[in-house]
Structure 1
Amino acid sequence: MHNLPISIDSQEALARDIGAVSRIGAVPAILRMICDETGMGFAAVARVTDATWTACAVQDDVNFGLKPGGQLELTTTLCFESRAARAAIVIDQFSLDAKYRGHHTPAIYGLESYISVPIVLPNGEYFGNLCAIDARPAKVSDQRVVRMFEVFAQLIAIQLDSEKRQWTTEAQLMNERETANLREQFIAVLGHDLRNPLAAVSATAEILSRKTADPDLLTMGKRLKTTVARMARLIDDVMDFARGRLGSGLSVTRQPVDNLMPQLRAVVDELRDANPARTLTCDLAIDSPVNCDPSRLQQLLSNLLGNALTHGSADKAVSVEAKIEQEHLVLAVTNGGDPLAADYLVRIFEPYWRPPTSAPGGGLGLGLYICKQIVNAHGGTLEVISSQEKGTQFTARLPVA
């Protein structure tokens, strides 16, 4: 028996293909029926590549000696030629066949009858062959027999394709789980390994900013405090982004807030103090309770205002408006300057996207993405319009209940 360890194909890939065939419950019955209908003693489903012939399933009634996983030298088989031609090879009796009576395959294996039909997956990939052999002649060229082989080969191909798609889906799910684990580890690193040293730097900045007797140290302390605040915001943005991607979206804790205006005004005052050269107007008219996460709404307003101050024209005012309209809290931030291009508006809420005109070091491009996630988590909408006459305006609409 020529059962040779000659495979140069990936052992993992071959094992997967053998396993895929073994999971097709109909294969044993198909091979059994082939032997019963043709009178031949050996039938097999073989994986045939351009380098190897490997048995995936066998029905051996003549002690041919080949078992699943066993291999034959590829060039000693007629499946090699069937694969090259992508056509069936059918021989009732080698010794009388005009084309194959002198062929080396029947001489090597002592064969008289032979049939091999390609197994081709729906996407055109050649998997292998459904074949049968015997040392005695057999009437396998009968159209009914050939058609039976073709139907069985198609059935196996369809099942293998389904198995392959399922395996691919499972592999993708595994990759997604691994990615999720990496994200969780990344959040842990940000939350602990970065925040702790940043707190130490912040404490140092606070000490330096109190050195009023030394103007240079005072200036250095204030500059360091500004840098620490910016680093903290970047960490918050990345953590929010990672948390949002891990779950179904950004988490919020909604609660009834009787008067939201002081919390929103605090954000405006903070950014006004940080940008004394800019004109920032504020019109807040929230006259009813709002069911919301107030800290997230502060984050929303801070991100929108920061974006307007960064990208708006320095000689134009930035305005903030908030009001209750038709059972919705409407929060709008507007800045003057050149209008945004239409293709920018389409991508503006994408993570890590920044306009090509953005200055280096201006952030990670997560601020507006997080704004969108905060609004979505409240069941609202966030829209942007931009024109030369009215400037660029972001408008969030959130249900108050």
Structure 2
Amino acid sequence: MVKSVAADLATIARIKAVPAILQVICEMTGMRFAAVARVTEETWTACAVLDRLGFGLDVGGQLDISTTLCHEIRQHQSTVLIDHASQDDEYCNHHTPALYKFESYISVPIFRTDGSFFGTICALDPLPAKLRGSAIEPMIESFARLLSIQMESEEDYQRTEEALLQEREVAELREQFIAVLGHDLRNPLFAITAGAELLKRKVTDEKCLGIIKHILASGARAAQLVEDVLDFARGRLGAGITINIKPCPDLAENLMQVVNEIQRVHPERVIGLHVGNLQSMRCDRERLAQLLSNLVSNAISHGDPHSPVTVNAEIVDNVFEMSVHNLGQPIDAAVHSQLFQPFSRPNSSSPRSGLGLGLYIASQIAKAHGGHMDVVSTAEAGTLFTFRLPLA
């Protein structure tokens, strides 16, 4: 049985109305065998059967198409009605009634919603039945149209289920990727930095200390790259960056600490800081600190090295606003829409470091909180990144 026919059998089997349709047909016509058949150029295949005759045909059973009337129905695509085959001028000498020993017969074509031929709903009985001129024909034709709609709905549902299953499998692979990335990169980095810290406490030679400090700085940078890639994987490949919303009365102190840490790394730069009263904030404190760190580091890297970086964080009209401003070369308007995409960076003549994930991660943290990021950049006013979070 070809795969397409097998799939059609499965589709019909999932339509719960089919057994009831066949039962109604038998009761209304008095005939004792009814079926839904998939009809191709080569085969007649039973998709659903109601057999009160002992005809001997089960679901999946096949007939040679040339021995059936459905071959002709497939060609001229119209209903066939026979009240009394042995007395019918057209069918009294036809091989099909003689082969299958029936007198009464009805077969209605089923078309898919795209107009293609699917098969038939048919019924037969060894005894004659009054079918012509009755309500039987329009009733079964209505059933055929109903089946067509039900098949399309069922096939759409199955495609959706398959797509969902595939997405779940991909999601599992994504989660495995994130787990492996975190485990396989974090562990050796921890071993490297821990070993370097141990050596730092024991070595007194200035040259060796310089090498060890370089190892520690490189390890810290690599660890930050790993964290950025993990956040990218969670935001882009997984379920999104996770946050833990809770009251953060010490948010202001935490943001000040972030700026102070960056200031110690860049003592030559001037970083202005203004933090308002943030005691009423509910947020993920560590994530907002990460967002601010990314924005300030971005301003340090791409701004004018001789101009200050200004940081503001306050609540204005029930909206939390955190902004970072720097002077320097403005961001081209053409790249504004790409700034918060992964692996993108503001244009700058300064050497580029990192993966270009900082602004993307900042925007994902903003989105996870229910806020958004904005940027304004001109040659006169400089560049201003702002995170806004409605507190309502």
> Do the two structures share a fold, i.e. TM-score over 0.5?
yes
Q: TM-score scaled to structure 2, two decimals? A: 0.79
Q: Deviations over 1:226-273 (max 9, x none)?
A: 33223322332344455567557622242332461x432332343345
Q: CA, structure 1 residues 14+150, in 2 after alignment: closer, same or farther (shift >3 Å)?
A: closer
Shift of 1:381: 3.3
Indicate conservation of the 8 Å contact 2:22/2:35, yes or no: yes
Picking from 273, 279, 300, the partner of 1:283 is: 273
SS of equivalent residue, structure 1 residue 332:
strand
- 1:321 is matched with 312
Do residues 337 (structure 1) and 329 (structure 2) align? Answer: yes
Shift of 1:293: 3.1
Indicate conservation of the 8 Å contact 1:18/1:69, yes or no: no
Distance 2:324 2:295 in 1: 7
RMSD of aligned C-alpha atoms? 3.9
- 2:176 is matched with 185
Indicate conservation of the 8 Å contact 1:90/1:140, yes or no: no
SS of equivalent residue, structure 2 residue 344:
coil
Letter of the 1:302 partner, please give it.
S
Q: TM-score scaled to structure 1, two decimals? A: 0.77
Distance 1:124 1:365 in 2: 52
Do residues 13 (structure 1) and 7 (structure 2) align? Answer: yes
Indicate conservation of the 8 Å contact 1:43/1:58, yes or no: yes
SS of equivalent residue, structure 1 residue 63:
coil
Distance 2:11 2:30 in 1: 28
Following superposition of structure 1 onto structure 2, how do residues 385-396 of structure 1 map, counting pairs within 5 Å? 385-396=376-387
Task: Name which of structure 1's ranges 294-303 and 386-395 shifts more when overlaid on structure 2.
Answer: 386-395
Picking from 152, 157, 162, the partner of 2:153 is: 162
Indicate conservation of the 8 Å contact 2:303/2:329, yes or no: yes
Distance 1:285 1:18 in 2: 67
- 2:223 is matched with 232
Q: Deviations over 1:198-247 (max 9, x none)?
A: 201223444676756363x5555444333322332233234445556755
Report how many aligned residue pairs link the two structures. 386
SS of equivalent residue, structure 1 residue 257:
coil
Q: CA, structure 1 residues 355+80, in 2 after alignment: closer, same or farther (shift >3 Å)?
A: farther
- 1:4 is matched with none
List gaps (5 residues or longer) in structure 1.
1-6
Indicate conservation of the 8 Å contact 1:234/1:363, yes or no: yes
Shift of 1:326: 2.6
Distance 2:113 2:177 in 1: 41
- 1:149 is matched with 140
Indicate conservation of the 8 Å contact 2:79/2:109, yes or no: no
Shift of 1:161: 3.1
Following superposition of structure 1 onto structure 2, how do residues 1-150 of structure 1 map, counting pairs within 5 Å? 7-9=1-3, 13-14=7-8, 16-21=10-15, 23-24=16-17, 27-49=18-40, 52-83=43-74, 87-92=77-82, 105-106=96-97, 108-111=99-102, 113-122=104-113, 124=115, 126-135=117-126, 138=129, 140-142=131-133, 144-150=135-141
Letter of the 1:186 partner, please give it.
F
Indicate conservation of the 8 Å contact 1:44/1:58, yes or no: yes
Shift of 1:332: 0.9
Indicate conservation of the 8 Å contact 1:316/1:337, yes or no: no
Letter of the 2:249 partner, please give it.
V
List gaps (5 residues or longer) in structure 2.
none
Name the % identity.
47
